[in-house]
Structure formats: C-alpha cells, structure tokens
Amino acid sequence: MSGKTLEIRHLNTSFFTQKGEVGAAKDICLEVRPGQIVGIVGESGCGKSVTARSVMGLVKYPGRVVSGEILLNGTRITGISKKEACSLRGSEVSMIFQEPMTSLNPVIKVGRQVEEVLLIHKKITKKEAKKEAAKILEAVGISDVASRMECYPHQLSGGLRQRVMIAMAMICSPSLLIADEPTTALDVTVEAQILRLMKKLCEAGTSILLISHNLGVIAQVCDYVYVMYAGRIVEQGETFTLFDHPAHPYTRGLLGAAKSLRSDAGLLKTIPGVVPNLLHLPAGCSFSPRCDSCMDLCRSEMPDMLPAGEKGHLTRCWRS
C-alpha cells in the first residue's frame, strides 16, 4: 500500500480529431488519500470529467490516455486489459455520473440494477443480492425500499435516482468513489442530503474524488482542492487555504464571481475574455489573454506548479 488511494502522475489524455490533437488533460498530477474528499473545480470543458474518465478507463474513441500513470492503492492501472478494467470498476473504484436518468437503464427496475452490480463482482446468489441491495438502498436514505425496488427510473425523482446511483456505486465497498457533478439539477434540499451522505461514506473509509463547478459544494465538503483551466491544474491546496488565499488569477476570478452573487453590488463579476480553443492555445500561460496581471514572461513561457505560501499550496503562476 502506498498510503494513497489514488495517485495520478503526469497524466496526458488527448482526443485525435481531423483538425488535430486536442489535449483535454495535460500533465495532471493528483492524489487522494484514504478517507479524504478531494475536489476538482473549474469551468465546463476544463478537463475535469476527462481526468475522471481516464481513471475509470472510460475515455472513448477518438480519445485515449497518451502518457502518465494512474495508481489505485499503489497498483498501476494504466494500460490494463479491458477485462481487468471491468473487474476493477464497481469493486475497487466506482463513479457517480452527472445525470442519473441517462446512467440508469430505463427498462430495468432499479432494484434489479443494484443487484446486478453484486452479481457481477461477488460470488453471491440472487436471493442474497436482493437482500444486500435492499440494505444499501435503505442506507442511502431511501424509504419504502421494497416498493422503490420495483420502480423504473422514470418513476423516481431526481434525488431518488441519484441515491440509487450512489447505492450502486457503494454496494461493493470500493476504496475510491468518483462523483462527477453529483448534485447538478437537484434542488438545494436534496443537494444537502446527498452531500451529507457523501460525508458519511467518507467517514466509513471511502475516499472520494468530487468533480464540480460549484464552489459552494467544494468548500462545504472537500479537504483538498485542485483548480483546472484549459486542461491543466493551475492551483491546488487545502480547501480553507485556497479559498482564503487564492494565488492564481483564475481562482480569484472564480471566487470573485461566486462572492458577487451574495453581494449587494447588483452586478455579476465576470472573468474577461473567453476560454481558449484547446486546438489553438496561446503561447505561455493559457490564462494570459484573460489575466489582468499578465507580464511578458507569462505570454512566452508556461510556469510549473510553484509554492504559493503554506505547505501543499501550489499555483501555476509566475507571480506566486
């Protein structure tokens, strides 16, 4: 055991299109320790989900992991066969997808779908699987379990469908749970319930990698945060340190926009400019065309991750 549930070393994942290679995740270095909730935050298209799918071995053609290593509990899982990857998914690492309605099979009852996870990964009878499925569904806060197990996905609310997805992800007690925007499109009450459930799972020993564009969600539950922009990690640090002392101009812009929603100014603060095309990234720092602190060096050379104060707080900025 490495002492790290997940370790990503210099991961590069690209999509090979007719127009050229699109680097969706570039030089990603990330780790999640046992019992820890780690967040990845950034705008849509910044590479969050691609990084998660790279871990799961679910990057679809024309995309592929070009280089780098992914280790799960100290064991290298990059380059393993499809059969080995299928064996890992669900048993050692599970993923909750953003929209449960498209992730659940619409023509199979939800109870059966939860049972199937056990039947695939464990030597267990159908009767035992049904009993265990009922237990996990009750554990994730679903009432009247016997009745709910006989429902089809469209007969359940968004919050209940998300709980079913969490039950499916947790029924084999994986060491790592990847949650990709698990509370998107849910009302705030259901969102709070899902986040409390995730905290309980973490307290029980499961490590969680939480992907979100919602800074409030990240601040509420995460121990450590990675900020991504244009396929790269641009800042990382313990949650309170990063939120209280953001070092990268992009992170400050994100936090400024979020804070303005609670201010009395009446105007929404924005980051000037637009996200760059990944096929035609600017020279130097990818954020330089939008940065109000840009120097000549920023336009010519991409910085490495540099210390930004407290231990473990790093930023990809020459002004750190």
Of the ranges 3-12, 219-228, 255-264, which one carries the lowest mean pLDDT score?
255-264
Q: Tens of pLDDT along 137-163?
A: 998 889 999 999 999 999 998 888 988
Q: Within a domain: residue 320?
A: no
Tell whether the model's pLDDT for residue 52 goes beyond 90: yes
Looking at the fold, whether 183 and 232 belong to one and the same domain comes out as yes
Q: Tens of pLDDT along 231-273?
A: 999 999 999 999 999 999 999 999 988 765 555 555 667 888 8
Q: Tens of pLDDT along 274-307?
A: 889 999 999 999 999 999 889 999 999 999 999 9
Domain end: 173, 198, 222, which one?
173
pLDDT value for 265: 55
Looking at the fold, whether 50 and 62 belong to one and the same domain comes out as yes
Q: Tens of pLDDT along 34-48?
A: 999 999 999 888 999
Looking at the fold, whether 107 and 166 belong to one and the same domain comes out as yes
pLDDT confidence of 102, banded at 50, 70, 90? confident
Q: Within a domain: residue 280?
A: yes
Q: Within a domain: residue 1?
A: no
When divided into structural domains, the chain yields a total of: 2
| CATH number of the structural domain spanning residue 280 | 3.40.50.300
- Burial of 120 (C-beta count, 10 Å sphere; 0-12/13-18/19+): middle
Q: What range defines the domain where residue 150 resides?
A: 102-173
Looking at the fold, whether 201 and 306 belong to one and the same domain comes out as yes
